Structure 1
Amino acid sequence: MAAARPRHVLITGGSRGIGLAIAQLFAKNAYRCTLISRSEDNLKAAVATLHPLPSYPIPSEQTSAEETQKLHNHTYIPGNITPASTFWSTTSHFGTYLPKPPIRLPSAHPSRIDVVVNCAGITQAKLFTTLADATMDKIITTNLTSLMQGTKFLLRHGYLRGYNRHEEGEQFSPVVINVASLLGVQGGYGAVAYAASKAGVLGFTRALATEYASHKVRVNAIVPGYIETDMTKDLNASELQQRIPLGRFGKPDEIAQAALFLAENQYAHNCVINLDGGVSAV
């Protein structure tokens, strides 16, 4: 039996780079995308690049035509997730695009979130002893604390909730996908706080996977190496590529393919996919 609604993916940092590539691939595979980022202009431009969704029947007769249209189009939520406590506790953000919590949506409801991709992050290029405390705090808050608080918000308020695998006539369990970094495993010069934050993302992934398995919510992570994005454009690419066995930076759509795999493979839980062109092996 076909699903009564498109699967719904929420992507932080979804307006560009890896986050946008993930949104574009999920949209091509008939997922409804909700993107979160700071710039509304960038979000509008990003949503405009997403493949339109096919028509789906609405299971509830109480859903209006206006709600039907909103719930079956890609959308976005503008906002700065730092400080994380302010963004995630301001439920008016979500009342505009999603039902306000607390909610207990049935699995067939079109506003249920099936996939959360935590991709928002900022980088660092400064020696640790010269790094201002405020900058260090911002890196940790953006890359790790906000990721944890956002995931907790979605779990506690019922946006992301496990359900019986046969409720919709298909086998699909909700999943959290965290985007970490090679530097969180290997370390990196001039990136101590960034590396620490990304190592924390992997620790969070493993711990939450253990804690939430009984709730029928899967938790996975991707560990990208050097990827062609705005975050790596100022690096010495020619020097770094000599260290990478495959001899090049990765592409955002290659990371997106891993995210789609983690979403759709129902045995992927506490799965950490390393995508770095082999640099971690040398």
Structure 2
Amino acid sequence: MKKALISGGATGIGKATALLLAKNGYDVYITYNSTEPNYEIKKIKCNLESIDEIQSTVEAVGGVDVLVNNAGVSLIKMINDVTPKDYEKICAVNERAVYFMSKYCALDMIKKQSGAIINISSMWGQVGASCETLYSMTKAGVIGFTKALAQELAPSSITVNCIAPGIIDTRMNSMFDADELAKEVPLGRLGTPEEIANAVLFLAENKYITGQVLGINGGIVI
């Protein structure tokens, strides 16, 4: 049975992905921090701002076949209001955790000469968003990291891909009016966590797709 590790799996995209992978025969582990999962799943509490906790989490799971770097935090502020503390937190979770989670999982994948890493970025990592400069920067970094790591790990038969969701019906977007958000989407509705999860499963199982950025955004970014 293949083993999957999903960061930030308590709600939203992470939860939908965990449930779908488990349904398809994967042995699934998720990480969580402040929000404990309300469904049956193997879970590990991990503060993704701590590299030591990331390493110990990967070691506890052991032998990951599929890594989904899903956890992320948003920040809506004008650049002149962003504090050094904001910067450190957003970069730690959205970029540094992706880097080191991938590093520690890749060590075993390289030995096995197989594996898949799927990073969850954002359409704002592709085009940028006003008042979300820091979030956009980190998500763009995830895209660059994906492309570089895909080249580095390809000789070991490890695929590395990225999904760039648009406006998805998750807790992160719950502060906004859904109907107003839907007006910005050419397809006229928000995306669902399940639609992102389906793409994760596809990328996890296709061995000839690597270094790609899959936009799932209802046509906002084309």
1:67 corresponds in structure 2 to: none
Give matches, 1:66-81, under 5 Å. 74-81=41-48
Deviation digits for residues 62-105 of structure 1 (CA, Å, limit 9, x no counterpart) = xxxxxxxxxxxx5211121113x23234x3x456x43xxxxxxx
| Pair member with larger Rg | 1
Q: Is the 8 A contact 2:58 2:104 kept in 1?
A: no
Is residue 239 from structure 1 mapped to residue 206 from structure 2 by the alignment? no
Is residue 21 from structure 1 mapped to residue 19 from structure 2 by the alignment? no
Q: What is the deviation of 1:235?
A: 2.0
Q: Is the 8 A contact 2:47 2:54 kept in 1?
A: no
Secondary structure of the residue aligned to 1:122 is: coil
2:75 corresponds in structure 1 to: 124
Is residue 267 from structure 1 mapped to residue 208 from structure 2 by the alignment? yes
Give matches, 1:170-249, under 5 Å. 173-249=114-190
Tell me the amino acid that sits aligned with residue 126 of structure 1: K
Q: How many residues align?
A: 222
Structure 2: tracts of 5 or more residues without a match = none
Quote the Cα distance in structure 1 between the aligned partners of 2:220 and 2:58: 40
Q: What is the deviation of 1:162?
A: 5.7
1:133 corresponds in structure 2 to: 84
Quote the Cα distance in structure 1 between the aligned partners of 2:70 and 2:54: 16
Quote the Cα distance in structure 2 between the aligned partners of 1:88 and 1:276: 30
Tell me the amino acid that sits aligned with residue 15 of structure 2: L
Q: CA RMSD in A?
A: 1.6
Mark the CA change 1:162 to 1:177 in structure 2 (over 3 Å): closer, same or farther: farther
Aligned-residue identity in percent = 35
Give matches, 1:73-152, under 5 Å. 74-83=41-50, 85-89=51-55, 91=56, 93=57, 97-98=60-61, 111-152=62-103
Q: What is the deviation of 1:238?
A: 2.7
Structure 1: tracts of 5 or more residues without a match = 1-5, 49-73, 99-110, 165-172
Q: Is the 8 A contact 2:58 2:105 kept in 1?
A: no
Quote the Cα distance in structure 2 between the aligned partners of 1:263 and 1:94: 18
Deviation digits for residues 201-254 of structure 1 (CA, Å, limit 9, x no counterpart) = 000000000111112211001010000000001124333222210011100000
Deviation digits for residues 12-70 of structure 1 (CA, Å, limit 9, x no counterpart) = 0011110110001001101110111114x723x23x1xxxxxxxxxxxxxxxxxxxxxx
Secondary structure of the residue aligned to 1:177 is: strand
TM-score (normalizing by structure 1): 0.75
Quote the Cα distance in structure 2 between the aligned partners of 1:211 and 1:256: 25
Secondary structure of the residue aligned to 2:183 is: helix
Q: Is the 8 A contact 2:75 2:134 kept in 1?
A: yes
